[in-house]
């Protein structure tokens, strides 16, 4: 029997995974011997993979059981090319869904703000090497982002704090556009709550120690909040760089501003 859910048609086990019911999952898999392999094939027909769906939805209780099967079948997934690239599921209303950006399962969990998923995975592989699909340190082949930059891109302060303070991710990497954390945050802030953005910006500078002098002119040009602009100008002054955005704007013609090559669509803007 097949059941409809989120514009998909699923068997009982697939439906259980979609709603995140641990009790039903254990009953179907261990007592009724439902086939995970068959269920995976059903997900594939919808261009989805179970591990990605679980991470996207934050179904931590299902993940704790499914991960055993997933790890034991890694060779099959590698041969299949499974999980190398993945678009958000049909049910996602996230700002990135229209852009169909590509993420590994753990990066998808980070994107969706599921701190519990990242915390669990890091501890699960504490004494072993995780597959790249579940590796918090993995750098996305398409965007150049790791989980740290994804957390910055979504202005998720709690995710950033957890990743940094527990030593889970490197906030000093640059993406494929050569942008660091502050440039990414400056772009993302255009669609973010000011308080969240300010908190993240100050945290990157004061706690993480991101180099505020890196691409500082471009960063200032991207900023549009007077409080953040004043803060950055003061921090630059402390680093021996006396500059004001208003003066910088006066030296840049309209055509010059086009030299700042930013892919706004990648940020859902």
- The better pLDDT of the pair 189, 107 is held by 107
What's residue 250's pLDDT? 74
What pLDDT, in 10s, does the model give residues 44-98? 999 999 999 999 999 999 999 999 999 999 877 666 655 554 544 434 334 444 3
At 168, list the tokens.
Answer: 């889970």
At 78, list the tokens.
Answer: 């590698």
Q: Is 4 helix (H, G, I), strand (E, B) or coil?
A: strand
At 246, list the tokens.
Answer: 């208003």
- The better pLDDT of the pair 162, 255 is held by 162
Residue in the block written with tokens 């013609």: 253
Q: Where are the domains of the chain?
A: 140-269
At 264, list the tokens.
Answer: 């706004």
Q: What distance in Å separates the CA atoms of residue 157 and residue 134, rounded to the nearest whole number?
A: 21
What top-level class would CATH report for the domain 140-269? mainly alpha
Phi-psi bin for 244: left (phi > 0), alpha (psi -120 to 50), beta? beta
Tell me: pLDDT of 269 over 60: no
Tell me: pLDDT of 226 over 80: yes
Tell me: pLDDT of 202 over 90: yes
Per-residue pLDDT band at 258 (split at 50, 70, 90): very low
Element (H, E) at 10: strand 8-10
What's residue 126's pLDDT? 93
Residue 133 near residue 105, CB atoms below 8 Å:
yes
Tell me: pLDDT of 254 over 60: no
Tell me: pLDDT of 210 over 90: yes
What's residue 79's pLDDT? 61
What's residue 99's pLDDT? 43
What pLDDT, in 10s, does the model give residues 124-136? 999 999 999 999 9
Paired strand residues for 5: 8
Q: What distance in Å separates the CA atoms of residue 113 and residue 38, rounded to the nearest whole number?
A: 30
In this prediction the pTM is 0.84
At 243, list the tokens.
Answer: 């500059």
Q: What is the mean pLDDT of the chain?
A: 87
Over range 161-179, report the average pLDDT: 95
Over range 182-193, report the average pLDDT: 86
Over range 110-121, report the average pLDDT: 97
Backbone phi, psi, residue 38, to 5°: -65, -40
Q: Which of the residue ranges 31-40, 74-83, 109-118 would you say has the lowest mean pLDDT?
A: 74-83
Element (H, E) at 220: helix 216-222
Residue 46: CB atoms within 10 Å: 16
């Amino acid at each position: 029997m097949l059941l409809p859910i989120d514009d998909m048609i699923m068997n009982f086990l697939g439906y259980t995974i979609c709603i995140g019911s641990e009790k039903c999952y254990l009953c179907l898999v261990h007592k009724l011997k439902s086939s995970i392999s068959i269920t995976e094939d059903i997900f594939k027909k919808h261009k989805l993979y179970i591990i990605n769906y679980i991470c996207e939805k934050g179904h931590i209780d299902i993940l704790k059981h499914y991960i055993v099967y997933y790890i034991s079948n890694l060779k099959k997934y590698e041969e299949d090319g499974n999980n190398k690239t993945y678009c958000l599921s049909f049910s996602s209303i996230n700002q990135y869904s229209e852009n169909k950006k590509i993420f590994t399962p753990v990066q998808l969990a980070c994107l969706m703000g599921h701190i519990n998923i990242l915390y669990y995975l890091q501890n699960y592989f504490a004494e072993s090497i995780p597959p790249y699909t579940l590796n918090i340190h993995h750098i996305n082949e398409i965007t150049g982002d790791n989980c740290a930059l994804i957390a910055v891109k979504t202005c998720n302060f709690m995710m950033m704090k957890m990743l940094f303070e527990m030593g889970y991710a490197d906030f000093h990497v640059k993406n494929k556009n050569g942008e660091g954390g502050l440039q990414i945050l400056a772009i993302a802030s255009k669609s973010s709550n000011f308080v969240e953005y300010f908190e993240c910006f100050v945290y990157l500078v004061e706690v993480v120690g991101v180099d505020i002098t890196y691409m500082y002119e471009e960063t200032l040009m991207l900023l549009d909040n007077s409080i953040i602009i004043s803060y950055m100008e003061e921090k630059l002054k402390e680093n021996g760089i006396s500059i004001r955005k208003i003066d910088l704007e006066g030296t840049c013609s309209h055509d010059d501003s086009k030299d700042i090559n930013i892919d706004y669509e990648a940020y859902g803007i």
